[in-house]
Chains A and B, each alone.
Chain A
Amino acid sequence: MKYKLLLVLAIISMSINTAFAHGDGPDFFRSIGKIYVVVGVMVITFIGITCFLIYIDRKIKKIENEISSHN
């Protein structure tokens, strides 16, 4: 599961540039002194931490299920 999440993360970070490139003129990321690159970096970091939260959430859910079925 973890590797799947990492794969998704890699694909998102690779496609984030092209996804925005068609939005607002040819060079969205390079406008205003390339500030949107910094925003993109923060978005990637946030997505990464969220993926970790989802990963640990699933693991804890599994334990909860085991405990409830044991009782």
Chain B
Amino acid sequence: MKGIWWKGLGVLLMLYVIIVGFLMPLRPGITTAFPQNIKSGETSVITASTYNARLETLSASDLRAWLVRDTTYILQAQSVKISGDQSVDVTFDVPENLPVDEEVLDFSLVLDAPEMGSIVLPYSIFIAKKGSDLSSGMTAWTSDSLGKLNKHKGLAIPFRNLLFETLRNTYFHVSLWFSMFILFLISVIYSIKFLRKREPYFDNVASSLVEVGTLFGILGLATGALWAKNTWGTYWTTDVKLNMAAVSMMIYAAYLVLRSSIKDGDKKAIISSSYNIFAFFIIVPLIFVIPRLTDSLHPGNGGNPGFGGEDMDNTMRMVFYPAIIAFTLIGLWMSNLMIRYKKLRNRIDEI
């Protein structure tokens, strides 16, 4: 039992992540609204397609809809007709005048019902101005307020347009990168230990952790490429986050090349240990700092993603944190095998 419990824990957590990560449903959301362009002073029917909303279980009287500019300018729908399980026709009687003096204004479409909660498609409907007198028709824009919106009932992860179900990649792709970082961190600690004590075992540990960490990083790049192909339409773009991740992987690839190019065991250990310490402190700004300084296509960037925002909420953290621990424990298990192999190798070479 001793020495094996953490391996079992890693496997159990991984199992939990796969099962709960896949079974927890996505919250409902609006995917598209058509037509996008309507004119003021006309009655327009907007067909909205939803995801996971299960509209047929709702009654039409419960479902409310608005076109929302901001907290003051809100236009309530004249009527709402549920036309399918994932489709709804909303009729708006748009006044002659827009609330702001612009030729075209963008509005967000909001649907709300008990159980389902409120769902929104931001900046989706564009209304072109027809009349010229700003003061007329103002009451239609300001007479209604959103009031109390419903919250979605039941455990579900956030709906994000474009991402949809691939939000679950947070549990796999993102955790791979996090655990890679933890493995590199432990490896740096052992590299410092080696440089202080000159014990070959410490170098074995450090190099094994780097090898597994690099594998995780390469898997991170490969899984990211698959996702990018189906979200951005290309495997690789010149995005700052992607390029910096690739650069950090190349730094560690150089570590592996460096190790295999030095024959003398003692020299190899000393040089690669000091390289490892430098490499780690280079990838910290490459992965964590530079992508946050500029704009990036990658989700969870810009601003300060460390505090969550809309990509991460508490229901996701229930799976995300165990996923990091699971991948780290499995990574440690993999490097443990490597360490034991290297120990045997050293002993055989001594004979």
On whether the beta carbons of A49 and B164 are closer than 8 Å, the reply is no
On whether the beta carbons of A37 and B226 are closer than 8 Å, the reply is yes
Would you give the 0/1 interface string for B151-167, flagging 1 where the beta carbon is closer than 8 Å to chain A? 00000000000011110
On whether the beta carbons of B165 and A17 are closer than 8 Å, the reply is no
A32, A40, A42, A49: the one contacting B18 at CB < 8 Å is A42
A14, A33, A59, A70: the one contacting B51 at CB < 8 Å is A33
B215: interface (CB < 8 Å): yes
On whether the beta carbons of B230 and A56 are closer than 8 Å, the reply is no
B165, B223, B229, B337: the one contacting A32 at CB < 8 Å is B165
**Chain B: number of interface residues, binned into ranges:** 35 or more
On whether the beta carbons of B227 and A59 are closer than 8 Å, the reply is no
B176 CB to nearest chain A CB (Å): 7
* A41 / chain B contacts, CB cutoff of 8 Å: 169, 172-173, 223, 226-227
On whether the beta carbons of B338 and A56 are closer than 8 Å, the reply is yes
On whether the beta carbons of B225 and A63 are closer than 8 Å, the reply is no
Q: Which of A7-22 contact B (CB under 8 A)?
A: 9-10, 13-14, 16-17
* B26 / chain A contacts, CB cutoff of 8 Å: 33
A55 CB to nearest chain B CB (Å): 9
On whether the beta carbons of B169 and A37 are closer than 8 Å, the reply is yes
Q: Which of B206-261 contact A (CB under 8 A)?
A: 212, 215-216, 218-219, 222-223, 225-227, 229-231, 235
B2: interface (CB < 8 Å): no
On whether the beta carbons of A37 and B230 are closer than 8 Å, the reply is yes
Binds A, one of B111-119, B125-133, B341-349: B341-349
Select from chain A the residue with minimum beta-carbon distance to B22. Answer: A38
Q: In the complex where A33-B165, A45-B176 touch, is A52 in contact with B218 (Cβ < 8 A)?
A: no
Distance between Cα atoms of A41 and B170 in the complex (Å)? 11
Distance between Cα atoms of A38 and B175 in the complex (Å)? 13
B246 CB to nearest chain A CB (Å): 12
29 A-B pairs within 8 Å (CB atoms) are namely A6-B218, A9-B222, A13-B226, A14-B225, A29-B230, A30-B230, A33-B165, A34-B163, A34-B165, A34-B166, A35-B166, A37-B169, A37-B227, A37-B230, A37-B231, A41-B169, A41-B172, A42-B18, A44-B226, A45-B172, A45-B176, A48-B218, A48-B219, A52-B212, A52-B215, A52-B334, A60-B341, A63-B345, A63-B348
- Known contacts A17-B229, A37-B165, A63-B341; 12 further A-B pairs (Cβ under 8 A): A9-B219, A13-B223, A33-B26, A35-B164, A38-B166, A41-B169, A44-B223, A45-B172, A48-B218, A49-B334, A56-B341, A67-B348
